């Protein structure tokens, strides 16, 4: 007896097979989304991480302050148009360098260390490892070099061909910022208030210029220890333009070791920058500061987790951007 439709039908097993094949074809035709991976260079440049680690250890052994500088360099890169090494680009006909931004100029440093690392990596794997990834790895290795935590890095970032000078002033924190401003800035990058406090703990190492803390040590406020202010005034004269570049350790107790003394200092009203002390000044972050001051392990693990999250901020992936041959110029 004929089918009512007048059309022959395939056996059900054949039709099912066809659907499976068709489904596989559709799946295969969907482009794979590029993503960061901890094994990104395992096959293309297996010695990259060892090469970077050795170079960073050497740089920090020559100057302990460089550890803080490299962590800050990565941070300032990620907060302006993502973790794309845009901060490394010099001025050119098409580039207005982020190095000239108010929060970077005469402040951010470590560029020559990254240039040296890039040169070494290029010598073993030309055109493979991005400057953006080198910044991320350098920050991790700098932390370890001064006794700080380590973390598993996700890699595969690519380098920008543009600069974000116009974004820098709006996106980078200032030493004058209040708590609400800091929370808001970090939130726009997908970082929580707890992440912000943990990342601020990087000020357990490094130094600041007199011009960034002069107002705080001379304003006779109630949120600064008098003896601490007096000590800091010795190398930071009251008059603007006099001793502006004189340096002071952000952590007076253990300035070259990555530990939780930064938070203990805040509780004692000995935060050097206004943007440090606002974290413990009767506000919503007081409890986090107290927790970190009592538990160095909690601070270390939270700092590591926050660094991983920060490294995920708007990376260039896949075919976006480029792999620069030299970090301070586009190809």
Question: How many whole angstroms from its chain centre is CA 80?
Answer: 10
Q: How far apart are CA 148 and CA 182, in angstroms?
A: 24
User: Exactly one of 16, 35, 74, 76 is catalytic; which is it?
Assistant: 76
- At 287, list the tokens: 């409890």
**Is 76 annotated in the active site?**
yes
Q: How far apart are CA 141 and CA 54, in angstroms?
A: 9
Least Cα distance to 273 among 204, 320, 193, 189 occurs for 204
CA atoms within 13 A on the CB side of 278: 18
Q: How far apart are CA 182 and CA 168, in angstroms?
A: 15
Q: How far apart are CA 234 and CA 117, in angstroms?
A: 38
First to last CA, the chain: 73
φ and ψ of 248, to 5 deg: -140, 145
- Which residues carry out catalysis? 76
């Amino acid at each position: 007896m004929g089918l009512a439709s007048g059309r022959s039908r395939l056996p059900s097993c054949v039709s099912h097979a066809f659907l499976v094949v068709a489904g596989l074809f559709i799946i295969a035709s969907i482009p794979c989304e590029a993503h960061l991976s901890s094994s990104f260079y395992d096959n293309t440049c297996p010695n990259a991480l060892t090469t970077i680690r050795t170079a960073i250890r050497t740089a920090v052994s020559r100057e302990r302050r460089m550890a803080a500088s490299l962590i800050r360099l990565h941070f300032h890169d990620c907060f302006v148009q993502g973790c794309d090494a845009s901060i490394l680009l010099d001025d050119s006909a098409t580039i207005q360098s982020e190095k000239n931004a108010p929060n970077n100029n005469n402040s951010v440093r470590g560029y020559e260390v990254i240039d040296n690392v890039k040169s070494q990596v290029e010598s073993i794997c030309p055109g493979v490892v991005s400057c953006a990834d080198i910044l991320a790895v350098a920050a991790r290795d700098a932390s370890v070099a001064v006794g700080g935590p380590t973390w598993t890095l996700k890699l595969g970032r690519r380098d920008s061909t543009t600069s974000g000078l116009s974004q820098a002033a709006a996106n980078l924190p200032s030493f004058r910022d209040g708590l609400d401003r800091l929370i808001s800035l970090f939130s726009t990058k997908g970082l929580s208030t707890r992440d912000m406090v943990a990342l601020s703990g990087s000020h357990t190492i490094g130094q600041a210029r007199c011009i960034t803390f002069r107002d705080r040590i001379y304003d006779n406020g109630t949120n600064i220890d008098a003896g601490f202010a007096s000590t800091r005034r010795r190398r930071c004269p009251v008059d603007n333009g006099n001793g502006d570049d004189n340096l002071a350790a952000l952590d007076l107790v253990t300035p070259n070791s990555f530990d939780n003394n930064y938070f203990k200092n805040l509780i004692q009203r000995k935060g050097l920058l206004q943007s440090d002390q606002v974290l413990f000044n009767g506000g919503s972050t007081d409890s986090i500061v107290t927790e970190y001051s009592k538990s160095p392990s909690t601070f270390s693990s939270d700092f590591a987790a926050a660094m991983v999250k920060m490294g995920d901020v708007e990376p260039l992936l896949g075919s976006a951007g480029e792999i620069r041959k030299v970090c301070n110029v586009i190809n």
